Amino acid sequence: MAPKKKSASASPKATDAPDSQSPQRFEKELKNLAAKAKDDSWSKSALGQASLFLKTAVVLALLGAASNASQLALSPVFGSIPAGIPHGPVIMAGCFVGWAGNLFLSRMLPFSTELLLPLVALHFPVVQFLLGPYSEKLGSWWGPFAIEALTLFPLAAVSAACVADYLERAELGALPQFVADAAPGIGSWGFFKLAERVVGSQLQAVIGKTFVLTRIGLQLLLAATYSVLAPSKYLVLAIPALLHTAVLNTHVMTPMATNSLNSTLMAEKWILLDRQESLTGYISVLEDLDKGVRVLRADHSLLGGEWVRYKGPIISEPIYGVFVMLEAIRLIEREVPIEDSDASALVIGLGIGTTPSSFVTHGINTTVVEIDPVVHEFAAKHFDLRENNPPVIADAVSYTAQLANESTTKFDYIVHDVFTGGAEPADLFTLEFFQNLNALLKDDGSIAINYAGDFGAPTPKMIIRTITKVFPSCRVYREAPRVESTVEAWGSDFINMVIFCQKTAGDLTFRQPVRKDYHESRSRHVFLVPQHEIPASVWLEGDDKSILTKNNTAKVTKMHQKSATGHWSIMRTVIPANIWEMW
């Protein structure tokens, strides 16, 4: 039987295609594929752009950290202030050269520019170690300039070239043309300066806490980070530098390096008793075996020292007369004399503890405020520090402000003795700070302030004017008389001076010392009674009547550059240059 024919209505039209082949479906799928491709392209592009900006931020942040690490490593040899004078121009020049010459550098190198970053960073400790011993010949300006020209300058140049390469691939088309041209350079510099400042403030609180946060450890950590950012076979070229740092660099804070350093120092008749890096600098205890002197070092300055060969029968013998002069605050005559056992004292700045140890020996209730815990640790461990109260390890500005506002505690004596790196911290010499100290004094109390600086410069006179603005009766004494030949030879009149003041108006006079005031100490027999007074007509002369307030400390900080440079030269006469350089 013949098969039935399908009805016409059931048969597909000759022009109809299966649904999967229909033009409408095909067009829809084409649109979907196009949209997906567009989405994938946008995601990929966005991810690529984010990667460029992230790499830019990382390179600039690492440069900010390297900038701080470089200055920290130079401060033991040159001091933090002299080392900082050529620092800004060097890093600015490096960034400019790298930014302007990125195309030339990328064409000249057979590999990516960023591969140079770890190679340069790994050579920082070697260059600093090898050029440090030339600091005496180069001086306090050319020395740090030369070292950073061979370390920080190339790192800044390569970093800027890398950033320029990254940002050239960044899409800034949405911005106006003049903004798109200027924004990468200005933005990069601003981000770098921000990173430099943030890293610097954070490092101060943690430096020395672990090996990687020491000066050399931090540089090695940065080099390792650069190596992770830009790994390559060329890292093998840095192996000699890495081996030198690990084996021969005595600046590394390890027992092996310390033993090696002492072998060299012993040949010079010196010995390193202790060292540690801390928030105020590289702190160490050194002993001159030939002269029998022990000193406490902070970067390129001395916080104090004592004779170990000629010990006093009651208390140690300091090597500097200025610390003995501070004890003369007990000799200031009062309307109602006070017994030592009834007196209280606040000492701001510890050093080796000469003044507070003397006060405690006299029986005075003494409180010490010291910002650096390592300074206190070494003073107690190596300099026979005497205490009758736990130390206050804190910033003196905030501590005294809080004490003045919240407490009824008053002191008979306040000793203000802060110094590091050739300059005093400006915040501790402002009108506001001295007003807080004035509030902490009893009505018949007295204050003694140690200030070291070039008396030919305007800063000491400004400081004295600020002090006399708060305290109505003051007298100023030099540690030693002015010698014109010395001033001419050094080009400055750098000297320690002590400003004695009392809270109430009236003549400030000193009583004659008696036997117990001297502690049977030779140095106190010589230096206890203040001498070499500077008449008020000298420190009040001139038309400049400005004082120092917390809002204008930048002016004094800039003035300290000259003072710190002069101090650097003087320190080279106190301790041999090669001892400073070996740190």
Say which CATH number the domain at 496 has.
Answer: 3.40.50.150
Among candidate residues 229, 237, 200, the one with its CA nearest the CA of residue 120 = 237
Percentage of residues of the chain with pLDDT beyond 90: 70
Tens of pLDDT, residue by residue over 86-112, are: 999 999 999 999 999 888 888 888 889
Between residues 487 and 443, which one has the greater pLDDT?
A: 443
Q: Confidence class of residue 222 from pLDDT cuts 50, 70 and 90?
A: very high
Overall number of domains in the chain: 2
By CB atoms closer than 10 A (0-12, 13-18, 19+), residue 33 is exposed
Last residue of a domain, which of 194, 220, 247? Answer: 247
Q: Name beta bridge partners: 478.
A: 497
CA angle 120, 161, 90 (to 5 degrees): 65
* Alpha-carbon torsion, ordered 236, 238, 244, 249, to 10 deg: -140
Last residue of a domain, which of 219, 247, 275? Answer: 247
Same domain, 106 and 232: yes
Report if residue 506 sits inside a domain: yes
Report if residue 335 sits inside a domain: yes
Report if residue 314 sits inside a domain: no
Give the DSSP letter of residue 364.
Answer: -
Report if residue 103 sits inside a domain: yes
Report if residue 26 sits inside a domain: no
Last residue of a domain, which of 247, 273, 296? Answer: 247
Same domain, 323 and 198: no
388: helix, strand or coil? coil
Report if residue 308 sits inside a domain: no
pLDDT at 175 over 80: no
Report if residue 253 sits inside a domain: no
Same domain, 338 and 226: no
Token pair listed for 184? 């990468």
Same domain, 385 and 523: yes
The arithmetic mean of pLDDT across residues 163-187, rounded, is 76
Tens of pLDDT, residue by residue over 302-341, are: 999 999 988 889 999 999 999 999 999 999 999 999 999 9
Token pair listed for 491? 């080009």
pLDDT of 7 reads 46
Q: Confidence class of residue 251 from pLDDT cuts 50, 70 and 90?
A: very high
pLDDT of 407 reads 77
Same domain, 531 and 385: yes
Same domain, 232 and 339: no
Same domain, 402 and 521: yes
Same domain, 364 and 221: no
Residue burial 341-362, b: 16+ Cβ < 10 Å; e: rest: eebbbbbbbbbbbbbbbbbbbb
Among 162-166, 271-275, 538-542, the range of highest mean pLDDT: 271-275
Q: How many CB atoms lie within 10 A of CB 453?
A: 29
**474: containing domain:** 319-582
Same domain, 242 and 323: no
Report if residue 293 sits inside a domain: no
